[in-house]
Structure 1
Amino acid sequence: MLAIVANTVVLAMDRSSRGDGGVEDAGIAFDSFSESVLAVLQIVTGDDFPLAMSAVAEGSGSGWSIAYFLLLQSFGAYIVISLFVAVLLAKLAQQTDDSLDEEDFTSLALAWREKSLSPELDPSSQLAVALQWLNVVFAVLFALEAAMKVVALGLWTGPAPNSRLGLPQGYLRNAWNLIDAVAVVFSIAALALPSVGALRVLRAVRPVRVVVRSPEIRIVLRALLAALPSIANVTALTLLLWTIFAILGVSLFKGTLSSCTDPSVETKAACNGTFTGEDGSVVAREWGPTAADFDSYPGAMLTLFQASTLSAWAEMARVMMAARGVDLAPSGNGSPFSLVYMASFVVVGSWLCLQLFTGVVIDRFSQLRRELDGSAFQTEKQRRWANTRKLLRAVNLEVRNDPPAGCLRRAAFNVVEHAWFEPAVLGVILANTLAMTLQYYGQSPAWAAALETADWVFLGIFTAEACLKLLGLGPAVYFKDRWNAFDAAVLVVSYASLAFPSGTGAPVLRVFRLGRVLRLVRRARTLHNLFQTLGIMRSCRAAAPTPAGESLVTLFFVVFMVTVSMSMLQLLIAVVIETFTERQEADAQEETLEREPLRVWGR
């Protein structure tokens, strides 16, 4: 993800350095590496998305800038983020902690190469020279990697497949190897011909080498491709439903939702001449649509498309409810029943249709997973046997601690092992959390003193809990449980926060005390599943707009939302739901496996 962000930054700065990035007036700049990173992250995260679109549509007259924005939104905002989530859920922590495999090295090498591409560096500076040499070194390493694979596998026909080693037949017969080869060729060509701008742009294909090396991510991409026919069917049904609403909207609201740029003018006939704007400048009066446009079928479809994303649909509904008549500016609440139209579309055209997209993507993803792991072709007995083996590898039976020697330690052990001890501590945690919510700005000194006293009381209770566990269980057993180690860390931070005088960092330290609330996760099975499902593994290491520009922006919105938001976002949901479901089933089977031996042995 960082590699692709860095590449998009480099491309934007490269265009900006040649005068194609004129979007600074809208608050987005690509003049330096840091500003470019900020701009790219703003676009990828969707922060102030309308401003970013306005910057591209109005601040730049270049089609390259719009193409760059489309690429960044499509592949950065959802595809890369979906791949990132897929990596998080891929169980890559099975690798050893003290070794770097081929994929880790490749990712690290690509990350080092990105900074060397920055056009903001002085080519004669020592840093630029050093980075250029690193660029050459890594290009040679990648070329050697490709050469060794060609020697081992053959370029096209290759040796016969080796069943013992599982070698594929021919280097270029593998699509992922082909992507590697193309990236290596482009890298070497860019070094040999640095003045060719097209080769610099084609370097952006290199980060794909990182993501395509993960088998789990390949499953995600294949699931998306497999779902395309079903997505096409849902898209056809969606367009049919939207067409019905668009025709109805044109019939009800054509000519009634426009207004004048001069707020004091309420009719189209009077909207002519000029007026003085808020900044004192002279502005021409113009009559046009406001938040919603139902003057034509294309305008109505575009309005409904925006409403389907739930972006500013409430503002559209307010304008429609304020409609007064043809060639009259909307005002007041003269058409309250218009809300029925917009609310109906949100339910049918947005919620229903988007859930259909979710359903088909999840269905294809689950089917592909079953086919790849063989479960789709197994009998019921074979599936039960495979699930049992998987469960036995993952199950962790609870270990009962033996009572220690000595009366004092045994008494402490009996207290912490009592059935009511943990619920009582959880109750104290909830009470402590409630007490921390009772502070407010302008509180009286007496109230502040009472809250501080409560802090010391709760701290004493938690200290007593830790001492009882240390005494009854012993330090080795106590710190073996990661939750106990976490509690001890929170306890130390709590003492530090109360020891600091007010205003010297104590409020920041006290925030960490809320970490105790995470202990509730242990008691809530569903929350615990979510934490395990989404756990991070160690391996995840303007000139005025032209008609052509307006058409490109409109096309961008439609393509982006249909192909990205309605497909990739649903694929992300499919990955999360699939993993969460598997975890729930494993937990249920684990509970059965824990109870069954006790029931049998207790006969």
Structure 2
Amino acid sequence: MWCQKVISHRLFDHIVLVFIFLNCITIALERPERHFLSVSNYIFTVIFLAEMAIKVVALGFCFGKQSYLQSSWNILDGVLVFVSLIDILVYLAYHGENKILGILRVLRLLRTLRPLVISRAPGLKLVVETLITSLRPIGNIVLICCAFFIIFGILGVQLFKGKFYHCEGLDTRNITNKSDCLQANYRWIRKKYNFDNLIQQALMSLFVLSCKDGWVTIMYDGLDAVGVDQQPKRNNNPWMLLYFISFLLIVSFFVLNMFVGVVVENFHKCRQDQEEEEARLREEKRLKMKEKKRRAKLGRYYDDYSPLRLSIHSLCTSHHLDLFITFIICVNVFTMSIEHYKQQYLGEVLKYCNYVFTCIFVVEALLKLVAFGIHRFIRDRWNQLDLAIVALSIMGIVLEELKMKGTLPINPTIIRIMRVLRIARLKLLKMATGMRALLDTVMQALPQVGNLGLLFMLLFFIYAALGVELFGKLECSDDNPCEGLGRHATFRNFGMAFLTLFRVSTGDNWNGIMKDTLRECHPSDEHCLPYLPWVSPIYFVTFVLMAQFVLVNVVVAVLMKHLEE
């Protein structure tokens, strides 16, 4: 009974969420050396084990409709606790004697999956369940993709196996084959993306081609290929262009874009279960608006106004004031746009123009406060935006006059740019029904897009923490030159790993970053992990698939759904 009262208490889930959040923070603060906050692993494992034990006692383990194993979220929760226990045992047994056991250290990073146990966050849980349900029918398109990848992969192995080698040295103009290269004491090396075998090389090279990032380099390597142990020649076989262009046309431009249609269609099907609830909410909203209009007809709030206040109210609700404010905002935007570096007399003119515009907006805000009253004025979110912009503008002028701009992290005059947002609230948009429909669509889709944003953040967090563990000690040197990793793209700490993954999600040179992680270990390299050549492709390919193909298309599906409505 005590355990049932504990798990049914409304604070139980919130307390667990706090510990999950703290656990994620400790994971983010850790470094590849694994020394920082190592005790926290034991503490959080004990806490989550206690949570699991309380639930098992209260619900039962496997028998009954409400038992622990009847919920898929509880199964994920229990697996992660079990993995954490295994990780502790491995970590206690591992002190550097056996380097092969190092791969098991990534098990600790699976703790970052605990936020997925989001029965505590209904909105995010709804998005995840919708996403999982919509992924099932994608199996057909995945099979089609796999079929084309395997066909082109086998064909690529037959055409290019053993041909993606080249001689690296100071002067390779007279080098024609591998023997000449080795006799000249040069290096005969294989390109990172090649077609020597199907599983590990050809499919990975084709995936890079399908993402359209760095595909030109791979294509020209194929055009330059001569033969096995032969030095490449420029445009040796231009007919190989047909192989690469046909793959891009069939797979990249046609098959992969079917992901968009499949995700959108299945997202719509999954949303049908929610239509009744949304229809009920819309009906309640309609009844409230109807009741509000009925009350407004019975008695208007400004009936007892004095003649002066009534005239101010008429002015604030007139279309002419909106036109005037729109004109002032446009002039204000124009004056801000002509500001430039090394302006002499123009700077003083613009400063006084800013004072005039600020005074106009202050007078407008005061008039509306008088016309609508403080409570009715503040209740409108657009008026809140207007009031905040006016207050920030006044603060910027004060700080500018007091010469305190240098003590702030940003220039307070930048706040003036926020005035442009006021155009969105003006009644002029009532004449532009298409623009208003788009704005309404964006506003209605924001909650679900926000849940998807949380899912994005969770995905980035998991892969960033895992990236620090796997690639945190990789360094660029003469023996291991880097094409993607560097000062602005690294996994040395959690922050830079997060930024690097954001760069990967935009498709900017992600294949170069993956190429740098596909390095073979040398005996002198103490920090190299022997399993990177096969772990790295799995890491980057799964991240790119989820970030660029699945989650982005779900955002498209959300927007299209609201546009239809």
TM-score class normalised by the smaller sequence: 0.5 to 0.7
SS at match of 1:266: coil
Work out whether 1:305 is the aligned partner of 2:207: yes
Give the counterpart of 1:219 among 126, 129, 132: 129
Deviates more, 1:427-436 or 1:454-463: 427-436
Counterpart CA distance in 2 for 1:324 and 1:571 is 35
2:212 counterpart SS class: coil
Q: Alignment partner of 1:157: what SS?
A: coil
Q: Give, in whole Å, the separation in 2 of the partners of 1:530 and 1:558.
A: 36
Q: How far apart are 1:478 and its partner, in Å?
A: 1.3
Does 2:559 align with 1:580? Answer: yes
> Could you tell me how far apart the structure 1 residues matched to 2:387 and 2:374 are?
11
Whether 1:566 aligns to 2:468 is no
Alignment of 1:149 onto 2:54: no
Give, in whole Å, the separation in 2 of the partners of 1:116 and 1:292: 37
Q: 2:35 aligns to what?
A: 120
Q: Is the 8 A contact 1:231 1:357 kept in 2?
A: yes
8 Å CA contact 1:116, 1:135 repeated in 2: no
For residues 48 and 529 of structure 2, the distance between their equivalents in structure 1, rounded to whole angstroms, comes to 41
Cα 1:121–1:300 change in 2 (3 A) is: closer
1:142 shift after superposition: 0.9
Query: In the TM superposition, what is the alpha-carbon distance from 1:239 to its structure 2 partner?
Result: 1.9
* Paired residue total: 445
- 1:169-180 residue pairs with structure 2 within 5 A? 169-180=66-77
116 and 455 in structure 1: CA distance in 2 versus 1, 3 angstrom threshold = closer
Secondary structure of 2:136's counterpart equals helix
| Match of residue 111, structure 1, among 21, 24, 28 | 21
Give the C-alpha shift of residue 339 in structure 1: 8.3
Instruction: Report how far residue 527 of structure 1 moved.
Output: 3.5
1:10-159 equivalence runs, <5 A: 101-113=11-23, 119-121=34-36, 135=44, 138-139=47-48, 141-150=50-59, 154-158=60-64
Question: Does the CA-based 8 Å contact 2:396-2:415 persist in structure 1?
Answer: no
Q: 8 Å contact 1:309–1:350 — kept in the other structure? A: yes
Structure 1 counterpart of 2:468: none
Sort the Cα spacing of 1:313 and 1:508 in 2 relative to 1 into closer, same or farther, 3 A. Answer: farther
- Which structure's relative contact order is higher, taking Cα pairs within 8 Å and 6+ residues apart? 1
1:546 to 520, 526, 545: 520
* Aligned-pair CA distance for 1:482: 1.9
Provide the rounded CA distance (Å) in 1 between the counterparts of 2:154 and 2:37.
59
2:94 is aligned with 1:210: no
In the TM superposition, residue 438 of structure 1 has moved relative to its aligned partner by 2.6
1:504 alignment partner, SS class: helix
Other structure's SS at 1:195 match = helix
State the partner residue of 1:487: 386
User: Using a 3 Å threshold, how does the CA distance of structure 1 residues 120 and 424 change in structure 2: closer, same or farther?
Assistant: farther
- Structure 2 residue matching 1:362: 3-state secondary structure: helix
CA contact (8 A) 2:362 2:390 kept: yes
User: Cα distance, 1:329 vs. partner?
Assistant: 6.5
| Conservation of the 8 A alpha-carbon contact between 1:171 and 1:178 | yes
Deviates more, 1:296-305 or 1:402-411: 296-305
CA-CA distance at 1:108 after TM superposition: 0.6
Residue 92 of structure 2, aligned match among 192, 195, 213: 195
State how far apart, in whole Å, the 2-side matches of 1:358 and 1:209 are. Answer: 29
Contact 1:259 1:330 in 2 (8 A): no
Deviations for 1:196-238, whole angstroms, at most 9, x for unmatched residues? 5599865555444431333415514532651352243232354
Offset at residue 136 of structure 1 (A): 7.7
Q: Deviations over 1:291-339 (max 9, x none)?
A: 9757998866644431221222355567789x698977777x9999998
Instruction: Show the 5 A alignment for 1:381-400.
Output: 388-395=279-286, 397=289
* Residues in 2 aligned to 1:200 and 1:292: alpha-carbon distance in whole angstroms: 28
| Alpha-carbon displacement from aligned partner over 1:386-430 (angstroms, at most 9, x marks no partner) | 664232234574877744612332222222212343354344334
Which deviates further from its counterpart, 295-304 or 230-239? 295-304
2:438 is equivalent to residue 526 of structure 1? yes
Deviation of 1:176 (Å): 2.7
Q: Secondary structure at the match of 2:92?
A: coil
Corresponding residue number in structure 2 for 1:429: 329
CA distance in structure 1 between the partners assigned to 2:20 and 2:529 by the alignment = 37
Q: Quote the Cα distance in structure 1 between the aligned partners of 2:378 and 2:367.
A: 13
Distance 1:246 1:132, change over 3 A: closer
Aligned to 1:235: 145
CA contact (8 A) 1:361 1:570 kept: no
Q: Counterparts of 1:347 and 1:477 in 2: how far apart (Å)? A: 59
Aligned equivalent of 1:455 = 354
TM-score normalised per structure 1: 0.58
Deviation at 1:531, TM superposition (A): 4.1
One-letter amino acid matched to 1:389: R
1:412 corresponds to 2:303: no
8 Å Cα contact 1:267-1:328 kept in structure 2: no
Q: AA paired with 2:35?
A: E
* Partner SS, residue 118 of structure 2: coil
> Does the 8 A contact of 1:211 with 1:217 survive in 2?
no
- 1:471 counterpart residue number: 370
- TM-score, with length taken from structure 2: 0.62
> Given the superposition, is the C-alpha separation of residues 338 and 493 from structure 1 closer, same or farther in structure 2, using an over 3 Å criterion?
farther
Out of 402, 418, 427, the residue aligned to residue 515 of structure 1 is: 418
1:481 positional shift: 1.1
Counterparts in 2 of 1:146 and 1:452: CA distance versus 1, 3 Å: same
CA separation in 1, counterparts of 2:241 and 2:89? 63
Counterpart among 340, 344, 359 of residue 440 in structure 1: 340
Aligned-residue CA RMSD in angstroms? 5.0
Question: Aligned equivalents of 1:478 and 1:369: distance in 2?
Answer: 37
In structure 2, C-alpha distance between the alignment counterparts of 1:387 and 1:449, rounded to whole Å:
55
Q: Is the 8 A contact 1:241 1:349 kept in 2?
A: no
Deviations 1:543-562 (A, max 9, x none): 97439999965655654566
Deviation at 1:344, TM superposition (A): 6.2
Greater helix fraction, Structure 1 or Structure 2: 2
Per-residue deviation at 1:107? 1.4
* Letter in structure 1 aligned against 2:58: K
Mark the CA change 1:260 to 1:121 in structure 2 (over 3 Å): closer, same or farther.
closer
Q: Is the 8 A contact 1:139 1:187 kept in 2?
A: no
Change (3 A) 1:105 1:285: same
- Residue 569 (structure 1) shift: 4.2
Aligned AA for 2:380?
D
Change (3 A) 1:561 1:367: farther
| Partner AA of 2:558 in structure 1 | T
Alignment of 1:255-274 (within 5 A): 260-262=167-169, 264-269=171-176
Once residues 132 and 555 of structure 1 are traced to their aligned partners in structure 2, the CA distance between those partners, rounded to angstroms, is: 27
2:191 is the counterpart of 1:285: no
C-alpha distance 464-337 of structure 1, shift in aligned 2 (>3 A): farther
SS of 1:444's partner is coil
**What are the residue-to-residue correspondences of 1:237-252 with 2, within 5 Å?**
237-239=147-149, 242=152, 246=156, 250=159
Check whether the contact 1:103–1:213 (CA below 8 A) recurs between aligned residues.
no
